[in-house]
Amino acid sequence: MRILYGVVGEGMGHATRSRVVIEHLLSAGHQVRVVVSNRAHTFLTERLGERPGLRIDKIAGLHMLYADNRVKKLRSLVSNLEGARSGWIENLSAYQQHLGDYHPELVISDFESWSHAYARRHKVPVISLDNMQILNRCSHSRHASNNKCMDFRLARLAVKAKLPRCDHYLVTTFFAPPIRKKRTTLVPPILRPEVLAAKREPGEHVLVYQTADSNSALLPILQKLDLPFRIYGLNRDEVIGNCTLRAFSEQGFIDDLRTARGVIAGGGFSLMGEAVQLQVPMLCVPLEGQYEQQLNARYLDSLGYGDFVPELSQASVVEWLSKLPVYQAALNGHVPRDNQMLFDLLDELIDRVGQGERKINEVSAPSLTEPAV
């Protein structure tokens, strides 16, 4: 089948999990054309660019600006508006060059709007495959979501508007809230082969993943604590006292994760799913202004796999460290999963789309929960 695969470029989690799905599609004999923006384009090109049956094109996408672990909403808006005209030209060029002689039979979108818009314009079936739809297509307790607050309502509306009326929604998650909408199936987090092959061997260090490289408060806090930290995200190799700063290395990061006594990071879904898979306790500091991260962190806390705080401090790290045995006991009860459930569900949906089905309410392959009827 000819498949158009859209990958949002904001955050590397979308790229790493899309790589896994694209490799499966290629192995199944499908032709795949990828449209992707920002850093995710470089990542996918480096790892998959030579695979037969695949072409990867770069398009313009939205991006977020950060400072001190906060999303700078106004600055992000201005920056995206400044690039809107050139981005529109870039995307039009991609349409003409990339899809001029390619007629997809199916679109798969990892929270990416360009491919979804193509599907709607040309009446091509579209499958959504991402974690963000958990906000809109599931019900959440007030504790988990604080669902009376305006942030939750706005986030749900934004996710709903991003990819409306798909033929089916596959939602990746390590928690399983009740499904509230048809055409929705929950699947485990999509894991890289390197993560699936990793063996948990807890050591002494704490892994820290810092999304906003401008967070000036991070190092002074960690330097007050008497234990080693290995820090990714500050984009340099340097040793500062008990803090070892490391430039990005995919395998190096996985090795540091599997051997960590715990991990401190934001509320990004991909790393959280990997930490749960490897049974590594986590302290989440969700980005202010990123509601999906806050939801992930609340569920992590409710499952007993870690804790979350609105702002990192020496006291919060010390308290979290004192509870590591409790978090570890809860994680030891988690059953690790591979990607086979997702692959079976995706293969079923592709087969049924190939037979002419649209708006697929239910799937027969096993899933985390039964879909709504």
Tell the burial category of 364 from Cβ atoms under 10 Å away from its Cβ (0-12, 13-18, 19+): exposed
CATH topology of domain 194-332: Rossmann fold (3.40.50)
Identify residue 214 by its one-letter amino acid code.
Answer: S
Three-state DSSP at 205 gives coil
307 φ, ψ (degrees, to nearest 5)? -140, 170
Residues 6+ apart with CB under 8 A from 134: 171, 173, 177, 292, 295
Query: Can you give the pLDDT at residue 95?
Result: 52
In CATH, what class is 2-192+339-354?
A: alpha beta
Are 2-192+339-354 and 194-332 equal in CATH topology? yes
Q: Which two tokens stand for residue 23?
A: 């490799």
Q: In the chain, at which residue ranges do the beta strands (DSSP E only) sit? A: 2-7, 31-36, 54-58, 66-67, 70-71, 106-110, 126-130, 168-172, 184-187, 206-209, 229-232, 238-240, 243-246, 262-265, 282-284, 306-308
Sign for the pseudo-dihedral over CA of 65, 230, 241, 307: positive
Q: How many whole angstroms separate alpha carbon 122 and alpha carbon 27?
A: 27
Q: What is the mean pLDDT of each run of 10 residues along the chain (373 residues)?
A: 93 89 98 92 92 92 42 38 41 55 94 93 96 94 70 88 96 95 96 97 96 76 96 93 93 97 95 97 90 92 96 96 98 94 98 97 84 44
In the chain, what's the furthest Cα-to-Cα distance? 62
Domain boundaries, the chain: 2-192+339-354, 194-332
How far, rounded to the nearest angstrom, does the alpha carbon of residue 249 sit from its chain's CA centroid? Answer: 18
**The pTM is what?**
0.88
60 φ, ψ (degrees, to nearest 5)? -80, 140
Query: Can you give the pLDDT at residue 328?
Result: 97
For residues 128 and 169, the answer to whether their CB atoms sit within 8 Å is yes
For residues 96 and 45, the answer to whether their CB atoms sit within 8 Å is no
Query: Can you give the pLDDT at residue 88?
Result: 43
Residues 6+ apart with CB under 8 A from 90: 58, 59, 60
Identify residue 134 by its one-letter amino acid code.
Answer: I
Q: Within a 10 A sphere around the Cβ of 209, how many other Cβ atoms? A: 18
For residues 368 and 186, the answer to whether their CB atoms sit within 8 Å is yes
